[in-house]
Amino acid sequence: MGIFRSLAKITVGTCSIFTFFDVVGYPAQVLGLSMYPTLQGEDSRWWKRDFVWLSTWNLHNCSKGTILTFTCPRDPTSVHIKRISATEGQMVRPENRNILQEIPKGHYWMEADNPQNRNDSNIYGPVASGLIKGRATHIIWPPNRWQSL
């Protein structure tokens, strides 16, 4: 009977953790230079890179300036972190193009903070809200960079 009770506790604990990560949020490491200087992910040593808290709560009401993670529209195996620069119904002028583009319903225009190192909506266009994975709310590592985003 003791083994079943232990197994039940482990199962409930594991399910609780996965539910928390799915519903509330989870930590994630920042990789790359595209969000520099806001987020630092360029160092080869993991402990020198920023870790952010990604909230999965209420991802439907995002506004300009919010930093989101999302599945890249061109590469479903890649997750990007960028800032919303326009929302549905707004007009944008993609970099190096002489046209105005309206952001479709249910989409965001995502841009990197670092103009020298960008792989963003200027390349792959508007991002569907269904591709959004989380909202970066805080830098949680390293301790000297703790802050709200």
- 82 part of the active site: yes
Task: Give the residue carrying structure tokens 């007009």.
Answer: 91
19: part of which helix (H) or strand (E)?
helix 2-23
Does the annotation count 121 as an active-site position? no
Q: Which of 34, 78, 121, 129 is catalytic?
A: 34
Q: How far apart are CA 147 and CA 85, in angstroms?
A: 21
Question: What is d(CA 147, CA 131) in angstroms, rounded to the nearest whole number?
Answer: 26
The residue from 48, 55, 78, 82 that is catalytic is: 82
Structure-block tokens of residue 80: 């990007």
The residues annotated as belonging to the active site are: 34, 82
